[in-house]
Amino acid sequence: MKALVTGGAGFIGSHVVDGYLAAGLEVVVVDDLSRSSGANLPPGVPFYKLDIRDRSALEELFEREKPDLINHHAAQIDVRRSVREPVFDAECNILGSLNLLELAVKCKVRRFIYASTGGAIYGEPKVLPADEATPVEPLAPYGISKHSFEHYLRNARMLYGLPFVVLRYGNVYGPRQSSEGEAGVVAIFCEQMLQSITPTIFGDGKKTRDYVEVSDVARANLQALKHGEDEIFNVATGVATTDYEVFAAVRDALGLPPSEPQYAPKRPGEVDHIYLDVRKAGSGLDWQPQVTFRAGVAKTAEWFRQHLGVHSRYNEPPVL
């Protein structure tokens, strides 16, 4: 089986590529390298540097590769940019995704696995943890665009019989995560502390998120190959972790002396409190998180210690 992984040179996508290769799949990667690194890909993986908004380039790729499966991770993921530039966000996350969906239908792809968001889709839930039936009330255009495509997938199943699986991620962290731009706070804190920069927490340090380590996320994408058809699943830990707890975990993992962060006003579009109910993934995907937060942060901190300043997004693989 041949899998086309969009965003496959990125943080999460590259771990999915590794998992699919280890499971014996043939893998083709699409990525525009705007937020990713060719160094994330193993040698020999067919790679196409293109933007999913480029319909003609995608058509040529599908004609050449004829994938059996699409795993869709390519996206505009910057929440703050989505607030500033909602049209750009929609062009990437809705229109670009529709290019893939139409070609998937045309080429009779067997399954479409979609990386959605659990951290930004539910807004400020009245009841926590949020499960998959929690009302969708995103606070930023990013959550709106990611959720919108879920409806297109369900519609394509109804109209054309295209099977799908939606994975709504919590806050994913781990090795290979970029600290550039609107990136994961674990990555940002690791890099800053390694350079003796005092991290800044936006808000009072009490905002909570549900942090899930990337190897657990990659396993969920493996399980989605055979389980969960036409369903939506939260992929997280079900544990609420504060911003300050993240700061302390990174500081301790790096072996630094006691210190305190800086504080700045909360940014627009950010959720105060969110963590996710993952029981449906346990029954429907046969998946449960395995990596504890402290263990995951320790692994991530060690990766940043070894790769700081080395892992360049300009290190590109050969382009097909």
pLDDT in tens, 260-272: 999 999 887 788 9
Return d(Cα 73, Cα 225) in angstroms, integer.
15
Domain boundaries, the chain: 2-174+210-238+275-290
What integer is the mean pLDDT of 28-35? 94
Question: pTM of the full predicted structure?
Answer: 0.93
The reported pLDDT for the residue numbered 319 is: 37
User: Which residues, other chains included, contact 217 with Cβ-Cβ below 8 Å and sequence gap of 6+?
Assistant: 12, 15, 16, 167, 169, 172, 235
pLDDT at residue 316 tops 60: no
For residue 273, which phi and psi values (nearest 5 degrees)?
A: -140, 125
DSSP category for residue 61:
H
pLDDT at residue 311 tops 60: no
The reported pLDDT for the residue numbered 183 is: 60
Q: pLDDT category, 91, cuts 50, 70, 90? A: very high
Please give the mean pLDDT across all residues of the chain: 93
Taking a C-beta distance cutoff of 8 angstroms, is the pair 261, 199 a contact?
Answer: yes
The catalytic residue positions are: 142
The reported pLDDT for the residue numbered 181 is: 52
Question: What's the Cα-to-Cα distance from 44 to each of 11, 27, 28, 29, rounded to whole Å?
Answer: 19, 10, 10, 11
User: Which residues, other chains included, contact 154 with Cβ-Cβ below 8 Å and sequence gap of 6+?
Assistant: 164, 230
Token pair for 90 = 């929609």
Question: What's the Cα-to-Cα distance from 6 to each of 86, 145, 292, 300, rounded to whole Å?
Answer: 22, 17, 28, 24
User: Which residues, other chains included, contact 102 with Cβ-Cβ below 8 Å and sequence gap of 6+?
Assistant: none
Q: Using one digit for the tens of pLDDT, what is the confidence trace for 65-85?
A: 999 999 999 999 988 899 999
| Nearest 10 degrees: Cα torsion 45, 51, 53, 54 | -80
User: Which residues, other chains included, contact 291 with Cβ-Cβ below 8 Å and sequence gap of 6+?
Assistant: 212, 213, 215, 216, 299
Give 257-274 as a 3 state SS string.
CCCCCEEECCCCCCCCEC
Token pair for 198 = 């005092």
Tell me which of 3.40.50.720, 3.40.640.10, 3.40.50.12500, 3.30.70.980 is the CATH number of domain 2-174+210-238+275-290: 3.40.50.720
pLDDT at residue 182 tops 80: no
What percent of the chain stands above pLDDT 70?
95
